[in-house]
Amino acid sequence: MNRHLIAYIALFVTTFGWSLSPVFIRYLSGAYDPYSQAFIRYFSATVVLVVVSGILYRSGLRQAFLNPATFGLAVANTVMQTAWTVGVYSTTATVAQFVVKLQVPLIILLSFFLFREERGVIRSPLFLIGTLLGLFGVGGVLIQDPSTSLLPSLNTATLLIIFTAFTWSIYAVWGKHAVGALHPVPMFTSVAVYTTIMFGILSFFVGNPHTLISAGAHITALALLSGTLPIAIAHCTFFYAQKHLGASVCTSVTMLNPLITHFIALLLWHDESMYWVQWVGAANLLTGTFLVIHAEFGGHNKTAESFDA
């Protein structure tokens, strides 16, 4: 199996993992304050990653810890995750998932100016049309009632989600640059370690750290589980995918996550349903994703042909 195909598998693992994140955050919000929840979820992810990296990527882990980029990524990640968690606490997961998609055009724009190898795909009409369809599709999927609007009121929660989109754009593009010199697993392991320490400090001084004990065994187990797939696995696979596919393509494809969230809900709860506008949105989103992947494959094949020649 070639790395290009593995990168797409990694990207879809990321998309699935991140589709669970808002659900976990909202479910755990009754037991933890935002900072303590972020700490325990990242603590869980860090334990898993340190064990894996310590066994498989020991030299790479040492190199990642000594690279100042990982500390910078951790700072950006802590700021971004704090704004995201507090924002989701104060609004609905639906509105949060919609507003945060502002990151898509931002990352594409930054990638165009910063990464020469991505410009060919970004210029592709298929990519641009596919991304635009995807954005409309996300809006359609997230409309739970055709008579309502997804346009949020401009309050603190909305501003925090918008800020999340900006900081995530910086994090993603910076990560794409850093993963060129570092293996994605030890790289994010070091980022997770630094991020966990920062969230521990925030929990102690700003949050309510006693909730880490009072939450109970069931909630604690769920919080620890929520750090494995949406954080530990999803971030590592995301950086791997970005290394081989580019930040712009990865960002466009991960727009699928709200659709996956809906399908999971349809499978788990029989009283869940989708309105016609959501089915139209799903069709647009799937079509847009297909066009984006087709555009990237076309650009990849041309590059491979020129290399072979």
**185 with 61: CB under 8 angstroms?**
no
What pLDDT, on a 0 to 100 scale, did the predictor assign at position 262?
Answer: 77
**Tokens describing residue 286:** 């799937």
pLDDT at position 72 over 50 = yes
Q: Which residue has the tokens 């393509």?
A: 249
pLDDT at position 235 over 60 = yes
**Tokens describing residue 174:** 């910076």
What pLDDT, on a 0 to 100 scale, did the predictor assign at position 144?
Answer: 66
pLDDT tens by residue, 79-134: 998 888 788 777 766 677 778 888 999 999 999 999 999 999 999 999 999 999 99
Please provide residue 198's backbone torsions phi and psi, each rounded to the nearest 5 degrees: -65, -40
**192 with 49: CB under 8 angstroms?**
yes
Angle, helices 184-205/68-90, rounded to nearest 10 degrees: 50
Alpha-carbon torsion angle 78, 165, 246, 45, nearest 10: 30
pLDDT at position 55 over 90 = yes
Mean pLDDT computed over 296-308 = 61
Q: Give which of 136, 138, 111 is closest to 122, Cα–Cα.
A: 111
pLDDT at position 137 over 70 = yes
- Extended strands (E) in the chain: none
What pLDDT, on a 0 to 100 scale, did the predictor assign at position 305?
Answer: 47
pLDDT tens by residue, 189-212: 999 999 999 999 999 999 999 999
Instruction: Identify the band that residue 302 occupies on the pLDDT scale cut at 50, 70 and 90.
Output: low
Q: What is the pTM of this model?
A: 0.89
Q: Give which of 152, 150, 156, 172 is closest to 104, Cα–Cα.
A: 172
**158 with 99: CB under 8 angstroms?**
yes
What pLDDT, on a 0 to 100 scale, did the predictor assign at position 222?
Answer: 93
Domain residue ranges of the chain, discontinuous segments joined by +:
3-308
Q: Residue length, the chain? A: 309
What pLDDT, on a 0 to 100 scale, did the predictor assign at position 37?
Answer: 92
